[in-house]
Structure 1
């Protein structure tokens, strides 16, 4: 039985009205009244203020969602853009602009704007400033690679079990040898993450061809062409194994690995394959 992976907390999805941001929306109603009264200058100011207000709310809301996802993740990078901080700054500027219409001197509006900025930060918090380190990146990459290898192994094991159900010992032995050889080769090449990524399509193609060959063998097993289908299946298993090995060799050398190292890995896994066979 495999180990059960610990579940990660998922941040709850929320809209602007589901958080404290909804309270700030009430402040927009007095600003809307400025659009319908006063001089053109007042209307222009109202449009500018409403634009700043909407932008600030959007940034704070988005920053809050990102912060929630950051808190729920075991390992995460800090956002490049401090959205909540920028939104709080815009709210401070908004307060300063509105206060400027009621005071002659600048210090009082500036102080009120600074107060608005501080209250916004206190209410919504700061953006994450540092990367959260859960498991080391190398360990996480290894776990992801191992999970992929386990899925491939399970897929091939299913094909091998289908062949074993036919009751032919030679076919079962060859199918098991192919599984052992392919998985050994994959374990060898997966030490290089770049080379492993290049194998996604070849692996998918290999599994697809193996599934088709299995289906063709099983379909012909109860008919008159049983022996012919058996010989063809054995030949195709050999061809699939050799073609996959060639693709692994190419993937290793394309990533700059020394040709001798690649051949050594493949030779070692070929020896294991022969021992199983």
Structure 2
């Protein structure tokens, strides 16, 4: 069955609009792809050289491919870091290692195996490492939004959110097997709704106890349902199953939205209590407060 085009002006497109603020352009784009393509030039010349020269060129190819992979993973880690209001810095500075390895790969590529002169390799190392660092920047080196928070609580939240993100990623991968673009967009919209709850919990780790069932049990169930539906629909194109699955997503999205709003209201109530307590203390001290 053909799937109609679903643009933003198409009928029904506004039923589950995605929040534009939730759509982020990944940093791992064409520049990173170029890092994987550029080292191929060394393969073209490696097998035309003597054994030692071939070994050096192949080593340079391997080092630069590793640098490209580390750079891509570093950019993905930075995307995840920037997407969160409260986040720990990446444990491994992948982009920094990528800069060093890029310089090392170029140094090996510029090494003359006849003379083993060091001037060109050193210049290539400095040039490659510096240009890579300028192009891709440093890794996040400091935690974000954790000032004044209990480290144990923030670690618990980080682990819970990481697990929830894995469930969302599994849903995204599974629904592709159904080969229905509208469902891809529908799952992405639900993921945006779920991430709104993640951000609330990250800002106030005390909300984790109340939200853990949503981040764990409900998303795990949604993942399993998505996998089963995608496999069934890929085989049979069962429209009843599709309607049931879309209804499930609607119910989940409504539940997540309501819970997120409740968490925000609870946070506001706690703030009101803190303000009232502070006002009473100031009044007892004989200080007039306009808080």
TM-score by length of 2: 0.43
TM-score by length of 1: 0.45
Larger radius of gyration: 1
